Amino acid sequence: MNNTTPLSKSVGEDLFTLSEIQEKITMAMHYLVTEGKEVKKNVAVNTHFEYVKLSIELLTKVNESHGVNDQFEQLLESLLEKTTACSFLTPFMSVIRKNNKLWCAAIEKENKLLVESIMKLKEKISLRNALVPIGPTPPLPTPPLLRAPSTSQHNVQGTSQQMGVMPPPRLRNMPSEENPTEKINNLRTAAESHIQRGVQLWENDKENRQPKENENRKDGQGPSVSEQPEEEDVEQPGPSNRRQVPRPLPSRSRKPSTREEFYRILAETQATKQFINVFAANEKTMGSNGKCTLYVVIESGHDFAKIKDPLSRIHLIRNIEGLGLKVPCINMDNVRDFMGDLTAKRTLINSVNQNTVQMSFQKFLDLIALKSNKTGIYNCLSFEFSKSQNGSRLTENFEFPFIVRQKSLVFQLEKALQSEKVSLESKMEEDTLTEEEKQAVENRLLKIGMMVERLPRHEKYLIISMANSLTDVHVDFSASSVFYHVLQGQKVFYVAPPTTENIAIYEDFQLNYGEKRENKKWIGQELQQHWERIQINPGETAIIPAGYIHFVFTPMDSIVIGGNFLVEEFAEIQFKFTRMEERCVQLKTTDQSNLYESFWNLIYSYAENVLLQKIMVANENESSDESLQQTAELFVKEMEESQKAADWYTDEEKKTIIENLKNAISYSNPRATTSNNIPHASMKRDQERNAFPENDEGSSSNLAAPPPKRRAAVKSGLSS
C-alpha cells in the first residue's frame, strides 16, 4: 500500500533531498586521487556512504509502504547515529587533502549538510508537523561542480553493488512492490553487510590510523571550497562552454508540444541533465526544419571523386570505397588495444554541464561499460594521434581521404618542404659547393626540419562518445573543413549554413557568451529555423566544408575517426573566424588551447613555400589564375596585420615573405616575370639563400602545380 498522508508526502520529499546530498558526496568521492594504503581507507569511506544510500532507500520504502511508523523512526535514528559518528571520514580527509583540496572541502561540507538535514527530519517527525523544513540554516553554498540533479528524474537506475562510482537511485515516485516487507528486509540486510565490510576494511589497515591534525594543511586551516585542486582530475569550465555561469535548477520536466517550445525549454535548461533528456526525447521530431538542402547523399567514394566542386556543400558518403580513406577496425570491445597507455589522462567534456574533466582512458571506458548510473555523459574529442606513441597502431591502419591529401594546406606545405629537403641533400653531395654555400644549405635544412616537426596536426582524431553526448553549437576552429567517419554507433549533426546573417549571430554569441548565458539565451534557439538534421551511421563518412555552424548529438555509444583541414578556397572565412577566436581569447570567453595550433606560422610558411611558387609557375607559364591571385592578395593583407603572431620567422623574414608575394602579384605581364626578378621567398630570407642561383634546377623541381580555378566559396555563403 502507498501512504498518502501530508506528513508522509513531506517526508518523501525530504528523503529525496537526502539522496541528492548523498549523490553529491558520491560524485566527489569518485574524483578523489588516492594511492597506496589510502585506497583501502577510500573503500571504507565509500562503503560508509553506500550504507547511507541504502538506508535512504530503505527509509523511502518503509515510508511509501507503511508511512512514518516506529520502524521508520528506528531506522532514521540508526542512520543519524552512523552519519554523526562517521569515524572513518575525518582522518581520511586529513591524509588525502593535499592532492584533493576542492573535493575534500566539498565532501566535508556535504556530509555536514547531510547530518543537519537528518536531524531536522527527526525533529519534523517528532513534532508530526509536515511544514517543518529540513534545509540548513543558514544555507551552505553548493560548489558548482556538485549541483543537485534535476528533480524531474526519479526512476531507479543501476544496482547497489556499483558503489563509489554511480549516483544514488532516484527514489521518489517508485512503483509499489508486491511484497514491500520482503524488499525492506533485503535492503536492511544489504545495508548491514556493507557497513560491516567497511569496518573490517578499516580495522585491517592499522598504519597511519591517526594522522596529525595539521598534516597536509596550510596554517592549520583546510582549504576553502573555492580553492582549485592541484590534481587535474576535476571538472573545469571547458572548451565548449568557456566561462561557467551560475544557473538555477531546471523546472520539472515537461514534454514540448511545438518546435518553438522545444527550443525554448532547451534555452532555459542549458548545462543541465534536463537539457539532455528533453533533446534526446524530442530531437527526431522537433530538432530540424525538415529540409535537406545543405547536404547531398553519395553512394560511394568513386561517385564523390567525380564531383567537380566537392566542397560546395556537405556530402554524406555511404561507402568509403574509392574515397581513399582507410580506417582501422575499431569497436568498443577492442578499442583498448589501440590506445596504448590507458592510464594517460585525456581531456573529456561532460555533456551534462559542458565542463571539461581530466580522466584516464581506462576510467572512461569503464564508465561506458557500466551502461547505467554514470557520473556524467562524457565525450572524448581531443585525442589527436598523429604524433602520439599511444596512437601508433591507429596510424599504421589509417590513410586520409584523397580530398584531404589534395587540398589541405598542411599536406601541401609538408610535401613542398620534403621536396626541397631532398633537393638540398642532393646539393650537399656536390663537390662544387664552397664552405659558405654548404653552411647555407645546412642552415636551410635545419629550418625545414624545424617546420616539418612543428607543423600543426589536427587531421587525425579518434572520438569516443557516451550515449546521449552532445556538443554545444560551434564552428570548428579557424572554420576548418572536416571529414568524419563513424566506426561504431551513430552521430546526428544539426547544421546551419554559414550565411552572412548566421555568422553575425554566431559571432555576437561567441563574443558575448557570458551575458547570453546569464540571460538564458541559446544560439540553438536563435537559429532554430535553419537547423537541418544529418544522421551518420556506421561505415558512412561526412565531408563538411568550412564555416558550417553545427552541434552534434550521439544517440548511442560511438567511435569516430575524423580530422580538420584548412584549404585555400576558404581562406577568407578561415581568416575571419581565426581573428574572431583570438578576440574571444582576449575576452576570456574561450581558451587559447581551443584555437588552431600555430595557425599564423602555417600561413607564413605556406605563403613562402607553396603559394608564392604557384604564382611564379603561373607567371612563367604566362597563364592567368584570378582565384590564385585573389588568394595571394588576401594572404598579404592578413599577414600584414599579424606579423607578430608567427614565431617561426624573424620580423625581417616575415617582411621579406610579404614583399616577395606582393612583387609576384604585381607582375601583370607574365613575360616580364622570371626567376631573376622575382626570387623565391626563401632566397631573400638570409644570406644563406643568396648562395644559390635563382634558376637552379633543384629549386624549380620543388614547385607545386598551380591549382585549378575555383569559385568564390565564401562570397556565395555556402548556402546552396
SS3 of residue 411 by DSSP: helix
Greater confidence, 160 or 60? 60
The answer to whether residue 280 sits within a structural domain is no
The answer to whether residue 531 sits within a structural domain is yes
Mean pLDDT, the chain, integer: 77
Residues 338 and 377 reside in one and the same domain: yes
Q: Which CATH number covers residue 509?
A: 2.60.120.650
The answer to whether residue 658 sits within a structural domain is yes
pTM above 0.75, yes or no: no
127-136, 521-530, 709-718: lowest mean pLDDT where? 709-718
The answer to whether residue 365 sits within a structural domain is yes
The C-alpha atoms of residue 553 and residue 274 are separated, in whole angstroms, by: 15
Residues 198 and 60 reside in one and the same domain: yes
The C-alpha atoms of residue 269 and residue 250 are separated, in whole angstroms, by: 6
The C-alpha atoms of residue 556 and residue 466 are separated, in whole angstroms, by: 7
For residue range 192-213, what is the model confidence (pLDDT) as tens digits?
Answer: 555 455 445 445 544 444 443 3
Residues 27 and 119 reside in one and the same domain: yes
Domain boundary among 530, 551, 568: 568
Contacts of 90 (CB under 8 A, 6+ apart): none
Residues 646 and 515 reside in one and the same domain: no
Residues 102 and 114 reside in one and the same domain: yes
The C-alpha atoms of residue 429 and residue 417 are separated, in whole angstroms, by: 19
Greater confidence, 630 or 133? 630
Determine the longest span between alpha carbons in the chain, in angstroms: 104
**pLDDT at residue 540, as a whole number:** 97
Query: Looking at the 3D structure of the chain, how many domains does it have?
Result: 3
Residue 344 sits at φ, ψ, to 5 deg, of -65, 135
The C-alpha atoms of residue 560 and residue 553 are separated, in whole angstroms, by: 13
**pLDDT at residue 582, as a whole number:** 94
* Residues β-bridged to residue 492: 535, 553
pLDDT tier, 77 (very low <50, low <70, confident <90, very high otherwise): confident
The C-alpha atoms of residue 89 and residue 44 are separated, in whole angstroms, by: 9
**pLDDT at residue 172, as a whole number:** 31
> Is the pLDDT score of 521 beyond 80?
yes
The C-alpha atoms of residue 116 and residue 130 are separated, in whole angstroms, by: 17
Give the range of the structural domain holding residue 495, as residue numbers without chain letter.
295-323+328-397+461-568
> Is the pLDDT score of 142 beyond 90?
no
Rounded CA Rg of the chain = 31
Residues 338 and 474 reside in one and the same domain: yes
> Is the pLDDT score of 318 beyond 90?
yes
Greater confidence, 211 or 599? 599
The answer to whether residue 186 sits within a structural domain is yes
Residues 466 and 604 reside in one and the same domain: no
SS (H, E, C) 485-497: EEEEEEEEEEEEC
Greater confidence, 438 or 253? 438
The answer to whether residue 590 sits within a structural domain is no
Residues 58 and 121 reside in one and the same domain: yes
List Cβ<8 Å contacts ≥24 apart for 515-520.
Answer: 517/243, 517/245, 517/247, 517/270, 518/245, 520/267, 520/268, 520/270
> Is the pLDDT score of 617 beyond 70?
yes
The answer to whether residues 635 and 607 touch, using CB atoms and an 8 Å cutoff, is: yes
For residue range 276-313, what is the model confidence (pLDDT) as tens digits?
Answer: 999 999 999 999 999 999 999 999 999 999 999 999 99
Residues 214 and 363 reside in one and the same domain: no
The answer to whether residue 436 sits within a structural domain is yes
Alpha-carbon distances of 402 from 268, 305, 306, 451, 673, rounded to whole Å: 43, 9, 12, 24, 33
273-277, 290-294, 370-374: lowest mean pLDDT where? 370-374
CB count within 10 Å of CB 307 equals 15
Residues 392-413 have a mean pLDDT of 92
Pairing of strands 549-565, 378-384: unpaired
Residues 376 and 452 reside in one and the same domain: no
Q: Which of 379, 375, 339 is nearest to 356 (CA)?
A: 379
The answer to whether residue 299 sits within a structural domain is yes
Greater confidence, 609 or 251? 609
Highest mean pLDDT among 8-17, 36-45, 501-510: 501-510
Greater confidence, 328 or 644? 328
Element (H, E) at 273: helix 273-286
**pLDDT at residue 513, as a whole number:** 84
CA angle in degrees (0–180, nearest 5) for 482-610-692: 155
Q: Which of 244, 73, 76 is nearest to 590 (CA)?
A: 244
**pLDDT at residue 158, as a whole number:** 37
Residues 351 and 477 reside in one and the same domain: yes
Q: In whole angstroms, what separates CA 87 from the centre of its chain?
A: 39
Greater confidence, 181 or 88? 88
Q: Pull the grid cell for residue 626.
A: 584570378
Q: Which of 413, 434, 446, 404 is nearest to 702 (CA)?
A: 413
Residues 316 and 351 reside in one and the same domain: yes
